Homo-oligomer: A and B are copies of this chain.
Amino acid sequence: MGNTFGHLFRITTFGESHGGGVGVVVDGCPPQLEISAEEIQVELDRRRPGQSKIVTPRKEADTCEILSGVFEGKTLGTPIAMLVRNKDTRSQDYDEMAQTYRPSHADATYDAKYGIRNWQGGGRSSARETIGRVAAGAIAKKILKTVAGVEIIGYVKRIKDLEGVIDPNNVTLEQVESNIVRCPDAECAERMIEKIEQVGRVGDSIGGVVECVARHLPKGLGSPVFDKLEADLAKGVMSLPASKGFEIGSGFAGTLLTGSEHNDEFSIAEDGEIRTSTNRSGGIQGGISNGENIILRVAFKPTATIRKEQRTVTRDRVETILAAKGRHDPCVLPRAVPMVEAMVALVLCDHLLRHQGQCGTLKP
């Protein structure tokens, strides 16, 4: 049951990195939404391998087929199934993986849990699984945009110790997509790219932080007490491969302030709306959106796959040495951006429908 996410807008992903393919079933999508395979492909192309010189050069088209739920260009309200075929090239590169556990990967834990695993390319724990999330997230984004004008924009905030200067309230998708590392601070982006290439050359890897903003979200989304908006956002992004931390608004840095420094004072805007003067809350108070921008950050560890030699063990409990063969991402951050956006969109879309379900009827 761990492969389903959301309550009213609910997705179920399937597939391993090798085998028939990966995909997703989206249940609960509102009917009559205009959507096309092309729109979904745009997002998939942002997470695709081989898209630039700083990501894994493995070439996969990742072409998405919509199997159901869309008719004459519109959603039917019935499940939308989407499938991306694997090229299924069971490579010699992976043979060692049948026996040898890659450090800080899921090989050993999958074996511990299930007593069996598809060891080709990581199987179910491969980041290829996120294809289904990104495809479903494209639909969630479209709903949020259509219904409420919501914009969701993610970007690379930091690579190792290189941190960009970016204003989440004004950053644009164009700025994000203007360079291959997806950091809208152009000058910093250049240094990031250089760093990633340098690390890749020596067979090592690095991590960093993705920041994401959701703008124009209506007030009132989020369901206390367990399904607080930040709690569901945290779960969503912490379910992404390689994520190690989550912050909303002021995050960990906020713990260094006093209450009088941290609180967001209220005021009345020119349009008569209640607004906060600052946004250390990150757009959420008491688990419910307050109409300010949702701002969150996700820490991604350095890619576990490296070409350097590491000590490890085999399935049969023999100590050995492993150095990854084949190609890999020296840094997942550029490709993690659309994944974070997708998870944020899925959470917000689900809560939009949930809010409408509970509070749409009786409220005057």
- From residue 60 to 83 of chain A, which have CB atoms closer than 8 A to chain B? 65-69, 71, 74-81, 83
Copy number in the complex reads: 4
Q: A81 touches which one: B20, B114, B243, B302 (CB < 8 A)?
A: B20
Q: Is the CB of A206 within 8 A of B259?
A: yes
Q: How far is the CA of A2 from the CA of B243 in the complex (A)?
A: 25
Flag whether A125 is at the interface (Cβ < 8 A): yes
- Majority secondary structure of chain A interface residues (helix, strand, loop or mixed): mixed
Digitize A256-300: 1 where CB-to-B-CB distance is under 8 Å, 0 elsewhere: 111111111111100010101100111011111111000000011
- Nearest CB in chain B to that of A129: its residue: B225
Which residues on the B side are within 8 Å of A226 (C-beta)?
Answer: 2-5, 13, 235-236, 239
CB distance from A32 to the nearest CB of B (A): 5
Given A3-B225, A103-B263, check contact A12 B114 (CB 8 Å): no
Which residues on the B side are within 8 Å of A27 (C-beta)?
Answer: 1-4, 12
Q: Is the CB of B20 within 8 A of A66?
A: yes
Binding stretch for chain B, among A40-48, A49-57, A172-180, A303-311: A303-311
Q: A249 touches which one: B232, B244, B264 (CB < 8 A)?
A: B244
Q: Is the CB of B31 within 8 A of A288?
A: no
Q: A225 touches which one: B109, B228, B239, B317 (CB < 8 A)?
A: B239
Q: A219 touches which one: B5, B69, B112, B247 (CB < 8 A)?
A: B112
Q: Is the CB of B290 within 8 A of A260?
A: no
Q: Is the CB of B317 within 8 A of A274?
A: yes
Which residues on the B side are within 8 Å of A257 (C-beta)?
Answer: 207, 301-302
Q: Is the CB of B14 within 8 A of A4?
A: no
Q: How far is the CA of A265 from the CA of B291 in the complex (A)?
A: 46
- Nearest CB in chain B to that of A330: its residue: B259
Given A8-B357, A160-B255, A239-B227, check contact A364 B77 (CB 8 Å): no
Q: Is the CB of B354 within 8 A of A259?
A: no
Flag whether A36 is at the interface (Cβ < 8 A): no
- From residue 141 to 166 of chain A, which have CB atoms closer than 8 A to chain B? 143, 146-147, 158, 160-161
CB distance from A289 to the nearest CB of B (A): 7
- From residue 1 to 31 of chain A, which have CB atoms closer than 8 A to chain B? 1-5, 7-8, 10, 12-16, 19-23, 25, 27-31
Given A254-B299, A274-B313, A359-B30, check contact A246 B266 (CB 8 Å): no
Q: Is the CB of B114 within 8 A of A285?
A: no
Q: Is the CB of B228 within 8 A of A259?
A: no
Q: Is the CB of A252 within 8 A of B260?
A: no
Which residues on the B side are within 8 Å of A109 (C-beta)?
Answer: 219-220, 222, 284-290
Q: How far is the CA of A109 from the CA of B254 in the complex (A)?
A: 21
Q: How far is the CA of A12 from the CA of B263 in the complex (A)?
A: 30
Flag whether A169 is at the interface (Cβ < 8 A): no
Q: Is the CB of A106 within 8 A of B287?
A: yes
Q: Is the CB of A255 within 8 A of B3?
A: no
CB distance from A227 to the nearest CB of B (A): 3
Q: A285 touches which one: B104, B265, B311 (CB < 8 A)?
A: B104
